[in-house]
Amino acid sequence: MPAEPKLKLTPSERRASVALAGLFACRMLGLFLLLPVFAIAARGLPGGDDPMRVGLALGIYGLTQAFMQIPFGLASDRYGRRPVVIAGLLLFVGGSVVCALADDVFWITIGRAIQGAGAISAAVTAWLADATRDEVRTRAMAMVGASIGLSFALSLVLAPLLVGWWGLAGLFWTIACLGVASLAVAAYIVPVVPRTAARSMKEARPGEVLAHKDLLRLNFGVFVLHCIQVALFVVVPTLLAQSGGLSTESLWKVYLPIILVSFVLMVPVIFVAERHRAHRGALRGAVAGLVMVCALLPLASLSFYPLAVVMTAFFVMFNVLEALQPSLVSRVAPAQYKGLALGFYNTAQAAGLFCGGALGGWLASSMSANAVFIGAALLSAVWLAVTWALKPLT
């Protein structure tokens, strides 16, 4: 049998995919910019020396996201994607302004909650599904996934520089500007999709999606991944700065080589997984690697270079898992479940962001940084056990 010709994105599909991936990246950059520096930069504010309050400020964004993802997704089905996405971005910009004007950690926490209330991930994902054919949709979704990974990489390099130049308030004004740029993309660049072409998430019942065991396993996975990510960044920036004798604005010198090396090492893993359809094996291997990395962190954190090496390994695992899991959701979910399945997946991700900030802050304040690392290792070990039961792809 001759191989089927590869389908290409049409100009309209390419425009929609690139625009929505950029919109996603801007919004996620607004979340990620705080992670590398907030634990250090917040020390100059009232309440900034309490890891619990710092963790809550980092994680509250995820809590309001988790509550609002499904309502925003359903509203986009009823009222259209564009107006709902614009409304969510207005909340994001408003919350960023509150944070920029805040003079203590409490008001930053309020602003972060307002930012998170603009939970547009499910609506943007549904918009992308509306704008693309079934045959090329996975490729378009991969563009969004790659944009999230790229935004995280950029945040690690840009955040220390921005704080060094303009302080924490300047960082939040930058985030607000990113929100305004996203508004322009949503209002003027993403092409209009006729309502008759839209695929509604109402086709599947929530109970049917929640009863799908493999989707539940993947939702648990993204929850754990982002929980660990935020928990580690409650303590790791301070440890890197202290052990390396670095200021906040110099941390980019550590993050840049870590990110570059981790991306180089991640690419072959994704390539092999795609080529040989070894997604399940790659997922298991990456989660097992995450267990090892978190278990090594208590020892590695005693000095600078071992900590930098282990954090490089962490980002290799993180990037592999961040790329694999959305692809697996789109492959595992039956056709009539895809929109709603991605809505639940985004909700689980947001819940992980909140729990990571709260858990990391509580463990660091009541015990130590090592307690955060041990907790992350135990949580990833549970994830490995859950992942082992994932069925082979057909």
Domains of the chain by range and CATH? 11-387 (1.20.1250.20)
pLDDT at 198 over 60: no
Q: Give the residue, 74 or 170, on which the prediction is more confident.
A: 170
CA distance 209 to 336: 10
What are the pLDDT digits (tens) for 112-132?
A: 899 888 888 778 877 877 777
Residue 1, pLDDT score:
39
What are the pLDDT digits (tens) for 291-331?
A: 999 999 999 888 889 998 999 999 888 888 877 777 777 67
Most confident option among 146-155, 163-172, 227-236, 370-379:
370-379
What are the pLDDT digits (tens) for 345-372?
A: 878 888 888 888 888 888 888 888 889 9
Residue 43, pLDDT score:
79
Q: How confident is the model at residue 5 (pLDDT cuts 50, 70, 90)?
A: very low
CA distance 92 to 3: 46
Find the angle CA(361)-CA(365)-CA(368) to the nearest 5 degrees. Answer: 100
Q: What is the 3-state secondary structure (H, E, C) of the chain?
A: CCCCCCCCCCHHHHHHHHHHHHHHHHHHHHHHCCCCCHHHHHHHCCCCCCHHHHHHHHHHHHHHHHHHHHHHHHHHHHHCHHHHHHHHHHHHHHHHHHHHHCCCHHHHHHHHHHHHHCCCHHHHHHHHHHHCCHHHHHHHHHHHHHHHHHHHHHHHHHHHHHHHHHHHHHHHHHHHHHHHHHHHHHHHHCCCCCHHHCCCHHHCCHHHHHCCHHHHHHHHHHHHHHHHHHHHHHHHHHHHHHHHCCCHHHCHHHHHHHHHHHHHHHHHHHHHHHHCCCHHHHHHHHHHHHHHHHHHHHHHCCCHHHHHHHHHHHHHHHHHHHHHHHHHHHHHCCHHHHHHHHHHHHHHHHHHHHHHHHHHHHHHHHCCHHHHHHHHHHHHHHHHHHHCCCCCCC
Q: How confident is the model at residue 94 (pLDDT cuts 50, 70, 90)?
A: very high
From residue 384, how far is each of 12, 97, 188, 290, 392 by CA, in Å? 40, 40, 43, 9, 16
Residue 298, pLDDT score:
92
Percentage of the chain exceeding pLDDT 90: 16
Q: How confident is the model at residue 382 (pLDDT cuts 50, 70, 90)?
A: very high
Residue 64, pLDDT score:
86
Among residues 374, 367, 364, 386, which one has the least CA distance to residue 49?
364
pLDDT at 169 over 50: yes
Residue 208, pLDDT score:
66
Query: Any residues with CB less than 8 A from the CB of 196 and at least 6 apart, and which?
Result: none
Do 351 and 62 form a contact (C-beta atoms < 8 A)?
yes
Percentage of the chain exceeding pLDDT 70: 86
What are the pLDDT digits (tens) for 223-232?
A: 999 899 888 8
pLDDT at 196 over 60: no
CA distance 243 to 6: 51
Average pLDDT over residues 97-109: 91
Residue 86, pLDDT score:
92
The pTM is what?
0.73
Q: Give the residue, 15 or 390, on which the prediction is more confident.
A: 15
CA distance 278 to 141: 19
pLDDT at 201 over 60: no
Residue 134, pLDDT score:
63
Do 249 and 163 form a contact (C-beta atoms < 8 A)?
yes
Do 316 and 260 form a contact (C-beta atoms < 8 A)?
no
Q: Cα(first)–Cα(last) distance of the chain, in Å?
A: 20
Do 233 and 374 form a contact (C-beta atoms < 8 A)?
no
Residue 380, pLDDT score:
92
> Which residue's structure tokens are 């200021």?
247
Residue 292, pLDDT score:
93
Residue 336, pLDDT score:
61
Average pLDDT over residues 5-33: 76
pLDDT at 246 over 90: no
pLDDT at 49 over 50: yes
Residue 87, pLDDT score:
92
Residue 274, pLDDT score:
65
Average pLDDT, the chain: 80
CA distance 269 to 260: 15
